[in-house]
Amino acid sequence: MNAPTDLNALKTRQQTAWASGDYAVIGTTLQIVGEQLAEACDLRTDERVLDVAAGNGNATLAAARRGCLVTSTDYVGSLLERGAERARAEGLQATFQVADAETLPFPDASFDAVLSTFGVMFSPDQARAAAELARVCRPGGRIGLANWTPEGFIGQVFKTLGRHVPPPAGVQPPSRWGVEATLHALFGEAAGAISVTPRHFNFRYRSPAHFIDVFRTWYGPIHKAFAALPAEGAQALESDLTELLMRMNRAGAASLVVPSEYLEVIVTRR
């Protein structure tokens, strides 16, 4: 019988992984997802908005552009600093606060809308994270999420990583948040309604080699996976990622455009 997974230890390792490299290099390319999510949530001026696992602040900035009173949170302080830099550069107002998605330091029903773009889905204790999102959102408020799907490109990237650096036993994959049935199970009676819209984000790079170089350098999970492998293992991982990129590339041999499916999710709080 396997010993239960130590979720706190896993979270510490995850935090180290996301703090390695510089996710902001990747994160800024995903800004359009935050803008689309803000529109899907129909954010209003002066609404209280919380961005959870905000990274470098894509949803934060989108909400601030719409005149919301935004609090941006993440458990990696250096990423919040990048978000704050971006807000200052654009003359936008937001509050930045280090916080864990599984233990949010806010009273019940504090926010009109709670957002997370490719963030909270990586919480080790998925049920606890979902309960926290629901707890801090007022009745009738909206929880807006962008979650990679298991079948989409990023979902396939994480499956590829898992073949080379297996995840701890008993840990649920983050891409479960990209499955509608899982969302209903996670939010349960806290959800008055759940609306799900499949969307695609296009990763645009020069070539498969360019994508791998950027992600190997700056994207924490891939950075850590390569670092954990011996030379032959790293070469095998690179080969598998190259094959995946070539198979999903819709731009031909001259460039790289890879659509990655995600779910845009609006949970209306009961």
Give per-residue pLDDT as tens, 102-137.
999 999 999 999 999 999 999 999 999 999 999 999
Stretch 220-228: mean pLDDT, rounded? 94
The domain segmentation of the chain, as residue ranges, is 7-158+167-202+260-269
- Give 54-77 pLDDT, tens digit per residue: 999 999 999 999 999 999 999 999
Pairing relationship of beta strands 191-205 and 111-117 according to DSSP bridges: unpaired
Share of the chain above pLDDT 90, in %: 90
User: What class, spelled out in words, does domain 7-158+167-202+260-269 have in CATH?
Assistant: alpha beta
Q: Is the model's pLDDT at 2 over the cut of 60?
A: no
pLDDT at 1 over 50: no
Report which residue type is found at 263.
L
Helices (H), 151-230: 153-164, 180-187, 208-218, 220-228
What pLDDT is stored for residue 4 in this prediction? 60
Burial 112-127 (b: 16+ CB within 10 A, else e): bbbbbbbbbbbbbbbe
Spatial CA neighbour of 72 closest among 96, 49, 36: 96
